[in-house]
């Protein structure tokens, strides 16, 4: 990560627009403060892409777009990088952010950045209409920067997923683990699943109940995982029917990541204000 940061800092000098890919389900938790620091140092405008918008709560996504589009030098858009039509919009959205770079002599130089596993490589492949970046449902698939000519007036640089050294807010780490931006070796799956179950019970209980056939009334996160284990037949052998919480945790996390639980966001501008306190500026009333 340290070498990736140094390389990104060097490249930033020769970039006109930063394309920051975020996860629409947790835009601020998936927003790397190092990227913000680097681009602000170079005074580079930013297109913030709330990717995987098809998996996020549309009402919450609208709130996040309003928040980001009120920031100076920022344009925010919600889309799915797996959609060729959505991806094709990206260069056109970048151009107004650097109108002085729009010729063969001065091509628009864009750089895709973001944390691991948010869809940067998918976007790169869609824009170039060929597979130039490895894609996988694991963090840190892209290992080094890659620069490509998009057309005569535009170039595009991909970069490795960049995490910051210390995640200050525990809830941020749990949210990032829930979307698999943090590798399995760095987290305890049952803790992540417990956090996710608690979030679902608080904000999307009907979707949780419908998926697993549960009666969510009176359930806490531990009870939800036990109920999922029993419903799915996840029982420990030779333990008298004791629920296998590890398997139940993986079922819940896999279903969430794939969208089988429905369109669910893990944070809102209001909840972000409570998590981050004074470090986060909540959007003003419309």
The model's pLDDT over 93-132, given as tens digits with 9 standing for 90+, comes to 999 999 999 999 999 999 999 998 899 989 999 998 887 6
pLDDT tens for each residue of 140-198: 444 557 789 999 999 999 887 777 778 888 899 999 999 999 877 778 899 999 999 99
Tokens of residue 75, six digits:
């344009």
pTM score of the predicted model: 0.87
Q: Are 142 and 133 in contact (CB under 8 A)?
A: yes
Q: What kind and span of H or E run contains 108?
A: strand 108-113
Domains, the chain:
2-158 (3.40.50.300), 188-275 (1.10.1580.10)
Largest CA distance in the chain: 73
Report d(CA 3, CA 5) in Å as an integer: 5
- In the chain, the N- to C-terminal Cα span, in Å, equals 39
Find where tokens 């944390």 sit: 115
Residue 267's contacts (CB-CB under 8 Å, 6 or more residues apart) are: 25, 26, 27, 28, 29, 175, 275
280 has pLDDT over 50 = no
Strand order in the sheet with 17-23: 74-78, 46-51, 17-23, 108-113, 154-158, 146-151
- Across the range 42-58, mean pLDDT stands at 97
Alpha helix (H) ranges present in 232-268? 245-258
């Amino acid at each position: 990560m340290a070498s990736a940061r140094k390389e990104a800092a060097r490249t930033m000098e020769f970039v006109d627009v930063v394309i920051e890919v975020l996860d629409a389900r947790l835009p601020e938790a998936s927003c790397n403060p190092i990227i913000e620091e680097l681009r602000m140092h170079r005074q580079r405008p930013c297109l913030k892409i709330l990717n995987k918008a098809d998996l996020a709560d549309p009402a919450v996504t609208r709130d996040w777009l309003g928040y980001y589009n009120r920031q100076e030098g920022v344009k925010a858009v919600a889309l799915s990088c797996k959609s060729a039509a959505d991806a094709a919009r990206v260069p056109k959205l970048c151009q107004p952010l650097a109108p002085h770079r729009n010729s063969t002599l001065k091509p628009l130089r864009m750089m895709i950045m973001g944390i691991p596993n948010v869809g940067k490589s998918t976007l790169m492949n869609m824009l170039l209409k060929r597979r130039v970046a490895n894609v996988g449902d694991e963090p840190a698939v892209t290992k080094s920067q890659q620069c490509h000519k998009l057309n005569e007036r535009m170039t595009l640089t991909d970069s490795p997923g960049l995490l910051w050294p210390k995640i200050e807010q525990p809830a941020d780490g749990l949210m990032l683990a829930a979307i698999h931006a943090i590798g399995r070796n760095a987290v305890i799956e049952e803790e992540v699943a417990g956090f996710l179950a608690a979030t679902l019970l608080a904000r999307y209980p009907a979707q949780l109940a419908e998926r697993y056939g549960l009666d969510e009334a009176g359930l806490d996160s531990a009870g939800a995982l036990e109920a999922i284990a029993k419903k799915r037949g996840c029982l420990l052998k030779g333990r008298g029917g004791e629920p296998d919480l590890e398997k139940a945790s993986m079922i819940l996390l896999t279903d969430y990541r794939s969208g089988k639980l429905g369109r669910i966001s893990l944070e809102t501008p209001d909840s972000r204000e409570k998590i981050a306190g004074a470090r986060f500026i909540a959007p003003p009333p419309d």
